[in-house]
Structure formats: C-alpha cells, structure tokens
Amino acid sequence: MSTEQITVDDLSELRELIRTSPEASSLREIGLREIVSGPGAIATLPQILLRLGIDASARITVFSDLTPKRYHDADVLDVVLDLVVRSNNKIEHVCIAREKEGAIVLADELTVASAIDAVTRTSPQALVSVGSGTVVDIGKVIANELSLTHVVVQTAASVNGFADDQSVLLISGVKRTTPSRWPDALIVDPDVVAHAPLPMTRSGLGDQLSMFSASADWYLSDAVGFDTSFSPTLVTMMRRDLDQLVKVSSDLGRGDPEAVGVLASCLTRGGIAMGVAGRTAPSSGTEHLISHLLEMHADAFHVPSASHGSQVGVASVVAAIIWQRVRERLLSGDAEVSAENVASRMDVLSAFAHLDPSGALAEECWAAYERKSTWTHLHLDDIRRIVSEWSTNDEKVDGLLKPAAFVTSMLKDARAPVSFSQLDPAPGPEVVQWALTKGHLMRDRFCVMDLAVLIGAWNADDVTAVLSELDKLAS
Ligand SMILES: [Zn+2]
C-alpha cells in the first residue's frame, strides 16, 4: 500500500500558535500527540503504537460497538484486530454493552462502569477505540481511569468530540460534559470515514455548524463576565478551512472522500479547540442546549432520537434566528434586563419533572442552573451595562455569527435536515417547543437564550415566531 498520501501531524504548528497567542496563559496544551490522516492511515496502526512506546510484547485491548463499518471489502474492526495480531501483540476485544438486542447505546453511568470493568479484566497496556461519538467518549473515560495509552480509530465524521479530553456522558439522565483524557493518537482514514452512512457525515456538518452561534455565545458570556475564557485565537483556528468546507458542502452530501476529509479535519480542530479551552464553549452554545434537551427527552422515554449532529445542525439555524432577533431588540434600545425573569428553583424543577419521577434529573439541572441564577442576581448591573452599550459588542458578534440563511444553505447543499420535522426520527412539535423554551435551564452557561429571557424576549410568542421563521427557511 502506498504511504505517500498519509500525513503524520505532530501538531507542532498548532502548539506554537497556541503558545504564542495573547490568551496563552488561559489556554491548555494539546494532549494529543499525533493525528494520522490520509488514505491507508489505518494500516499504519502498528507503527503508531510503536511511536507511542507500545511494542510488540504489549497487551492491547480493542474497544468498539457491534455496528459493522466498511473499509474497502472488509470490516474496519476486523482490519484493526488483524493489524494488531500480525504485529504479535496479545489482543483482547471488548464490545460496548447493550441492555438488550437492538437497544440504543447510551453513555450512562451503568454502561461506562461496565465498560471500565470489562477492559480492566483484560489488563492492557494500550487501548484502541474503534468507533464514532459514544464509543470514543467512553474509550476516553476508560483510558483516563486506567491510565492507558489510547489510539482512536475514527469511523465517521459525525461529531467533533474525537480530539479532546472531554466526554459527553449521561449523568442522572442529563447530558453532561465530563473531563476524560486526550487520545494519544487519532487516525482519520478517509477510506473509513467516507464509507460511514451518509446521514452520519451530514450530522458531522450539523455539529460543525454550531461554531457560529456557539462562539457568539462564548463571546457574550465573556462580555458579561460570566465566563471570561473567550479566545479569538481558538475561534480563528476553528474557522481556518471554512471556505473550503463551504465549497465542498454539496460533495459532502454524497460522501465524497475528499469532502469528508475536509469536514473531518474541521471537526478535529473543533475538538482541539474545546480541549485547549478546557471547556466545550467554543462549539457548544444555545444550539447544543436545544439538542441536549431533545436527546434527554428521548432517553427519558426510551425512544430513539435523531443523531446528535443532525439536531445540532437544525438548532444552529434556530440559534442564528434567535441571535438575529435579540440583536435587533438590543440595537433598538428597547431592552430592559429584569431580575424577575430569572427562573426560580420551582421553575427549573417543573420544567424537567416529567422526564424523571424520582426528581433526580430535575435536581441535577437545578444544581447547575442555580450557579447561573445566583451569579445573574449578583451581576445584573454588568449585564445591564452590556445591554446599554450593545452597539460595540454587536460589531464583535457580527464577525462571529453567520446569518440563518447561510447555515441553512450549507445544510441544504449537503441534503442534511434543516427543520425539526425533517429529523429522523422527528421529535413531536410539543417537545421542540419545550426544548426551545427551557433549554437555558439545563446548565450553568450564559448564552443568548439567557439574555433573551432576561430582556423578556423569550416568551411563547417569540418561540413560535422563531419556529415559523425556521419553517420558511426550510421550505
Ligand atoms: Zn456537538
């Protein structure tokens, strides 16, 4: 096999960019040692392990799910197992547990604990995770718990969570970002990721498009003083290949390997940005809140939900519309911050009570929201100042956001869902209404939805108006 097109990126250029940035003191180092990409990259797994100090005598455990994944005429998992066996390593295979045949795999406490147990019993020196979002999120937790060298074989360009040290887990039924561990190496082989089912690639584009509303939310949170970690360097880094991504968006929709490679590399940089920022804020704002609520609702009622990225894509259009409406209101000078609009404990508990009769889920949300509400009550003057001096902030936000029509056209080019009714499966209209209305109550991050609520611009009529604008864009 030709190795000419395989790139081993030791990330020295990005490390230097981060080290020399004005925000360097608040950024963390990239823990990922290398990204190996290009056609045939997967075949270099033995060399990658050797570079990481894992020699042929080491015991290696491969962690995956049961979903077949194609690599030319073979299955990706078989290829990985065969490569490790041929390099004489002792190998074990641990498969993610499912409650029952056909059940959806959730990264909940039970699944994570049983995966850690199963891998512990194999006493490996290194872990190779083969899969997409959930498998890799759990793999990073296992590698962290057992201090294992960890190589990730990414099997789809479906989310941006491969290249960072955080995992999204389900804690008491609530989606929570939990610190885990950077993979040591990431393998992105277009012959693997481009053969993932097309809806997964389209989901990846949806997750990627969160970068506009998320970075504007991150800026807002910094401006009001809630989270002062906003980094222009990381935002610029994440947008480096944006023009190229726009150019290939229609090729993405048919799984063109080069186009999927561009998307995968954008997603990788999004992951690195989150890891370096030490939080998911660079890629997770209002749009992720909406998606998290839709997923939590489906999980609570044991029904399948549409893929994470496909929801985030639609919700990114929604977030762009919300931002536009809030900016217009702020620029009109007709916006007043009212402490009465901050939700109470009863508001939060009743927003989530129907998802969990034990009350644990609602309490988990309140525990997070309480920190934000306490802060808000103490900093009303800071928020009022930002509102009254909005025009200077608006220029900054304008440079971070893209219009809803832009986000829509990229999704349409890739034939990805644009409206909630186009999601597969589609959440009911009342669930969508609930997710939009209550999204800001699930965690302690300040975003445009919080500001909209504070200025009284997020009532039932506003939600209906946003949804009807979304429908117009989608048609
Ligand atoms: Zn995401």
Domain-by-domain residue ranges, the chain?
7-196, 212-229+279-474
Cβ pair 321, 474 in contact under 8 A: no
CA of residue 56 to ligand 1 center, whole Å: 36
CA of residue 55 to ligand 1 center, whole Å: 35
Q: CA-CA distance, 88 to 50, in Å (whole number)?
A: 12
Per-residue model confidence as pLDDT tens for the chain (475 residues): 556 789 999 999 999 999 999 999 999 999 999 999 999 999 999 999 999 999 988 999 999 998 899 999 999 999 999 999 998 879 999 998 766 655 667 788 889 999 999 999 999 999 999 998 899 999 999 999 999 999 999 999 999 889 999 998 888 878 788 999 999 999 999 999 999 999 999 999 999 999 999 999 999 999 999 999 999 999 999 999 999 999 999 999 999 999 999 999 999 999 999 999 999 999 999 999 999 999 999 999 999 999 999 999 999 999 999 999 999 999 999 999 999 999 999 999 999 999 999 999 999 999 999 999 999 999 999 999 999 999 999 999 999 999 999 999 999 999 999 999 999 999 999 999 999 999 999 999 999 999 999 999 999 999 999 999 999 999 9
Cβ pair 17, 237 in contact under 8 A: yes
CA of residue 313 to ligand 1 center, whole Å: 9
CA of residue 178 to ligand 1 center, whole Å: 14
H helix runs in 239-357, sequence order: 242-252, 257-277, 286-300, 308-331, 345-352
CA of residue 3 to ligand 1 center, whole Å: 32
CA of residue 309 to ligand 1 center, whole Å: 6
CA of residue 207 to ligand 1 center, whole Å: 5
CA of residue 169 to ligand 1 center, whole Å: 12
Which H or E element spans position 7?
A: strand 7-9
Cβ pair 240, 17 in contact under 8 A: no
Cβ pair 205, 416 in contact under 8 A: yes
The backbone region for 427, taken as left when phi is positive above 0, alpha when psi lies in -120 to 50, beta otherwise, is beta
* CB atoms near residue 387 (< 10 Å): 19
CA of residue 123 to ligand 1 center, whole Å: 32
Query: Is the peptide bond prior to 425 cis by the omega test (within 30 degrees of 0)?
Result: yes
Cβ pair 238, 210 in contact under 8 A: no
Cβ pair 445, 281 in contact under 8 A: yes
* CB atoms near residue 85 (< 10 Å): 12
Q: CA-CA distance, 333 to 455, in Å (whole number)?
A: 11
User: What's the chain's length in residues?
Assistant: 475
Q: Give CA torsion, residues 210, 411, 42, 84, to 10 deg.
A: 70
C-alpha closest to that of 107 among 210, 116, 215:
116
Tokens of 174: 């609530």
CA 332 centroid distance within chain = 34
Q: Is 208 helix (H, G, I), strand (E, B) or coil?
A: helix
Q: Which residue has the tokens 């939600």?
A: 463
Cβ pair 83, 112 in contact under 8 A: no
Class for the domain spanning 7-196:
alpha beta
CA of residue 425 to ligand 1 center, whole Å: 18
Is residue 122 exposed (0-12), middle (13-18) or buried (19+ Cβ within 10 Å)? middle
Q: CA-CA distance, 372 to 453, in Å (whole number)?
A: 13
Q: Which residue has the tokens 């029904």?
A: 303
CA of residue 289 to ligand 1 center, whole Å: 10
CA of residue 452 to ligand 1 center, whole Å: 22
Q: CA-CA distance, 375 to 280, in Å (whole number)?
A: 20
Q: CA-CA distance, 296 to 302, in Å (whole number)?
A: 10
CA of residue 475 to ligand 1 center, whole Å: 25
Tokens of 418: 């644009």
CA of residue 122 to ligand 1 center, whole Å: 31
CA of residue 315 to ligand 1 center, whole Å: 11
H helix runs in 2-44, sequence order: 12-19
DSSP 8-state symbol, 55:
-
CA of residue 213 to ligand 1 center, whole Å: 12
In sequence order, the 6+-apart residues with CB closer than 8 A to the CB of 256 are: 194, 248
> How high is the pLDDT of residue 89?
79
CA of residue 468 to ligand 1 center, whole Å: 24
Residue 183's φ and ψ, nearest 5 degrees, are -65, 155
CA of residue 325 to ligand 1 center, whole Å: 24
CA distances from 193 to 75, 143, 187, 240, 337 (A): 12, 23, 10, 21, 47
Q: Rounded to the nearest 10 degrees, what angle do helices 210-224 and 308-331 cross at?
A: 50
CA of residue 266 to ligand 1 center, whole Å: 13
Alpha carbons within 13 A on the beta-carbon side of 41 = 26
DSSP 8-state symbol, 8:
E
> How high is the pLDDT of residue 201?
96
Angle at 13 between CA 193 and CA 230, to 5 degrees: 85
CA of residue 316 to ligand 1 center, whole Å: 11
The backbone region for 126, taken as left when phi is positive above 0, alpha when psi lies in -120 to 50, beta otherwise, is beta
Tokens of 56: 């042929």
Question: Hey, what CATH topology would domain 212-229+279-474 get?
Answer: Dehydroquinate synthase-like, alpha domain (1.20.1090)
Q: Is 343 helix (H, G, I), strand (E, B) or coil?
A: coil
**Coarse DSSP helix, strand, coil percentages of the chain, rounded to the nearest 5 percent:** 55, 10, 30
CA of residue 60 to ligand 1 center, whole Å: 29
CA of residue 314 to ligand 1 center, whole Å: 12
